[in-house]
Amino acid sequence: MSWRGIVLGAVVIGVAASTTAYGLGEWHHAQTRATRPPAVAVADRAAIEAGPRIVFRHTGLDAEYGTVAEVSLADPGGPRAFTGVVCDRVYARPGVATCLKTDPGVVTHYEADDYDAAWHRTAATPLPGLPSRTRLSPDGTLAASTVFVNGDSYLTTGFSTRTVIRRVGGASYGDLERFALILDGKRVAPPDRNVWGVTFAPDDTTFYVTVATGGRTYLARGDLATRTLTTIADHVECPSLSPDGTRIAFKEARSDPARGSWWTPAVLDLATGRRTVLTAETRNVDDQIEWLDDDTLLYGLPRAGEGGVTDVWALSADGTGPPRLLVPDAWSPAVIR
């Protein structure tokens, strides 16, 4: 088996392990957080929303665990405002947000909820599996969601993905696996394809996404008008388009016998194909990266020794300088300017 196949196999095992850990962690947190006040300073929401800000999922072990929060872009480590909305994954643009959530209930089910500027729910869409990734288009009219599912015929064990793009408050374009796949210039229809991690271009039809098949991962350019996915690079996972539209940040799978498999942040220049692997970050970055600005990346990392707690880190997109803690007790960041 190729090293890429080994890495993809590790992804399946990692997903299964993280899913189990997530369920156990949520149960533990539910027992301990109900009466514990946040250990961070709390701000007025109207004051935070009056300017540029970062929206994220709060992961402090307290009564607000899992709640969407906001901090000022000018003071990301400072006071935060809470919205009252609980999410597993969140993304936001001016005036709109999308939230992937789990309802444990008697029978666990999942959904994608849309919210307006006042954090009032405007729509709810059922999801077929465990929430993983979500993104909104720059104008906030398109939403993408990726979930983990099981039961695909080509998998004997483990997980597959379902990724859907829909109009916010409107119709869905359906499962992206049903789009025509153009792989290395040829139209193909492999039964083992998986699609995940959408990022949108500024126009109303173009997006980028990861496609996996045959033990390899590819960056594909998607077109909603023609319902096509066309591969343009390989060895790319969870793409994120820069604000200026020239680069893709992603996580690159790496492996060696001593350490095993892990993901490292990297940046791809779309015009030249040049890759910059950001080796200043040595930890395992299993996240879809967000751009703070054209020069800086954001991503979440679990905090060592504190199950369920994560922090958002910042890293220079050109590979210089070490990572720095930007927002403690945070996950799933989205920048609003």
Confidence at residue 226, expressed as pLDDT on a 0 to 100 scale: 98
The helix/strand/coil state of 156 is coil
Find out whether 231 and 249 touch, Cβ atoms under 8 Å.
no
Question: In this predicted structure, what is the pLDDT of residue 105?
Answer: 85
Q: What's the pLDDT at 203?
A: 95
Handedness of CA 11, 16, 18, 22 (dihedral sign): positive
Q: ∠ at Cα 318 (335, 97), nearest 5°?
A: 15
- State how far the Cα of 256 lies from the Cα of 61, in Å rounded to an integer: 35
pLDDT of residue 29: 52
Top-tier CATH class for 88-336: mainly beta
- Shortest CA distance to 159 belongs to which of 171, 147, 143? 147
Q: How confident is the model over 292-333, as pLDDT tens digits?
A: 999 999 999 999 999 999 999 999 999 899 999 999 999 999
Query: ∠ CA(103), CA(107), CA(111), 5° rounding?
Result: 35
pLDDT at 159: 63
Domain boundaries, the chain: 88-336
Regions in the chain scoring below 50 on pLDDT: 1-24, 27, 153-158
The β-bridge partners of 318 are none
The pLDDT assigned to 145 comes to: 98
* Residue 282 contacts residue 289 (beta carbons within 8 Å): no
pLDDT confidence of residue 154: 38
Q: Alpha helices of the chain — where are they, by DSSP H? A: 3-32, 45-49
User: What would the two tokens of residue 134 be?
Assistant: 């979500």
Here the contacts of 322-328 (C-beta below 8 Å, separation 24 or greater) are 322/280, 323/280, 323/281, 325/77, 326/76, 326/77, 326/292, 326/298, 327/54, 327/56, 327/71, 327/76, 327/77, 328/40, 328/77
